[in-house]
Structure 1
């Protein structure tokens, strides 16, 4: 005969789920990645982003319509499964030792809701190691730009990765988030799901382990948008280096030579650079003279960038 009444188990499941949902709604859930990502839902095992090529420009209609050819790239992002779990033992239920488990359930909800932010910042931080739609790493020194707008002709190699001399230096990022396509793509296949294995005396899991398991999962991944929306630097965060990155980005050209119209508006930094960024971008005057970079950029800091791939 059961030592724990079924209604007690049902109430436990309700309480754990309620605490999980409280964690999902907690003010410390990290949604800061939404500032530089775009959400593209997925309905299969992966998404192929063929729309990430250059779009044809608008021409004056004189004579026959000019049929611009879009340079297409096959860039595929495969979805992955992500999960987080917590368990409650039979003795913890019997002895009413559940306060800590409820806190764990809240933390579980907060953690899995913050996971897209973790993935997005990691994608940004490791962009110099991962390829994007043009076959180069997202942050690279050899992005090809062609002389003709159909992707033919002479190639000019463009860099959006500025490496400093210190191999251990942390990176900072200058982004253009003003357009439809954002630097990072968040690709959800499913929403977060809460589950439990339940508990019956006939359950093999309960018989073998005497535990009731609760967990959450979702299916999805992150990928890269247009490389021209982002610039990475491991040089010191100074006014001179920010200005250099800004000018380079605004001068980038599309295939065929037309200016891309890149408009950097967001500086993403490790939280360790917070005070340096404030001095550069939030001071009206520097050494008694007008600061030309004052309020030029919004600053987004994250501790997730304090320890990143090299």
Structure 2
């Protein structure tokens, strides 16, 4: 290939097309537990997600609920990945060697939300949320029906591999993916660029700005106890009994069980087997969807 303005424009177009096509074709999993929030600033501030009470009978004037605007803040982060391509390889028509590399760059850019959300989820055992408690905790402070503070738990305890029961039926989710700047590819292919003069190579790079954070802790229940039918039943019961701000019955629907790959068998036995270990009808069959997430810690 002759290295000139027209050929470089065509090459950039080809690489950009390969990048964008792969970027939109990757199947991701973070949306099972995270809501996407489009961010327009360096730091995004959220209200406390636990303060909404139930609807009340309208007697007299309206009762206005005002959320605390500064419940918590998620700071956007910047990510990059770049690859250099020898000008000799382009001159020798070796472009086919690099197209898969550009596509892989798009793959990791598309999967970045998965990496961030699932990593942040596991940090919930050791990271405080807006109420001063760990995201997964036995003592989340909530205002009860009488106006007094009560404790609500979304953690079953234990020390083993964690599994999670989630209500994924609502617009609000237990996790947040904050999207500030979509992934895009840029190039340094000007024949006057320093990389051309000093290294005799062109450079293509991807950039994305985003972050992950905690959302509504009420919508997820974590356990590090063994994944047994009894513990699964107890987790469902705990979610069903959970109350929100001013005693609101949250009407939670634990429809999603998330497990690491080491607990896939136990999850399938609980949710898919027709009969339990004793030979009796499995009452928990099809009570939730099973999601096996390879990014979760195995132990």
Shared fold, TM over 0.5? yes
Match of 2:175 in 1: 184
Give me the whole-angstrom Cα distance separating, in 1, the residues matched to 2:53 and 2:285.
Answer: 36
Match of 2:272 in 1: 282
Give me the whole-angstrom Cα distance separating, in 2, the residues matched to 1:107 and 1:71.
Answer: 43
* Coordinate RMSD, CA, aligned: 2.1
SS at match of 1:141: coil
Q: How does 1:282-301 map to 2 (within 5 A)?
A: 282-286=272-276, 287-301=278-292
Match of 1:223 in 2: 213
Instruction: Measure how far apart 1:74 and its partner are.
Output: 1.9
Give me the whole-angstrom Cα distance separating, in 2, the residues matched to 1:136 and 1:88.
Answer: 49
Query: In the TM superposition, what whole-angstrom CA distance separates every residue of 1:96-125 from its partner, at most 9, and x where no partner exists?
Result: 333221111111111101111121111212
Match of 2:56 in 1: 59
Quick check: 2:262–2:298 contact (8 Å CA) kept in 1?
no
SS at match of 1:86: strand
4+ residue runs of structure 1 moved beyond 6 angstroms?
Answer: none
Query: Any unmatched runs of 5+ in structure 2?
Result: none
Q: Is residue 111 from structure 1 mapped to residue 108 from structure 2 by the alignment? A: yes
Match of 1:245 in 2: 235
Give me the whole-angstrom Cα distance separating, in 2, the residues matched to 1:19 and 1:69.
Answer: 49
Match of 2:23 in 1: 24
Instruction: Measure how far apart 1:307 and its partner are.
Output: 5.1
Quick check: 1:53–1:71 contact (8 Å CA) kept in 2?
no
Query: In the TM superposition, what whole-angstrom CA distance separates every residue of 1:204-228 from its partner, at most 9, and x where no partner exists?
Result: 2221222211111121211111111
Give me the whole-angstrom Cα distance separating, in 1, the residues matched to 2:254 and 2:241.
Answer: 11
Quick check: 1:86–1:214 contact (8 Å CA) kept in 2?
yes
Give me the whole-angstrom Cα distance separating, in 1, the residues matched to 2:74 and 2:261.
Answer: 29
**Given the two structures, how large is their TM-score scaled by the length of structure 2?**
0.91
Instruction: Measure how far apart 1:229 and its partner are.
Output: 0.5
Quick check: 1:52–1:133 contact (8 Å CA) kept in 2?
no
Give me the whole-angstrom Cα distance separating, in 2, the residues matched to 1:24 and 1:115.
Answer: 11
Quick check: 2:16–2:185 contact (8 Å CA) kept in 1?
yes
Instruction: Measure how far apart 1:51 and its partner are.
Output: 5.1
Match of 2:155 in 1: 161
**Given the two structures, how large is their TM-score scaled by the length of structure 1?**
0.88
Which residue, out of 167, 170, 175, partners 2:166?
175
Q: How does 1:267-278 map to 2 (within 5 A)?
A: 267-278=257-268
Quick check: 2:261–2:298 contact (8 Å CA) kept in 1?
no
Give me the whole-angstrom Cα distance separating, in 1, the residues matched to 2:291 and 2:12.
Answer: 38
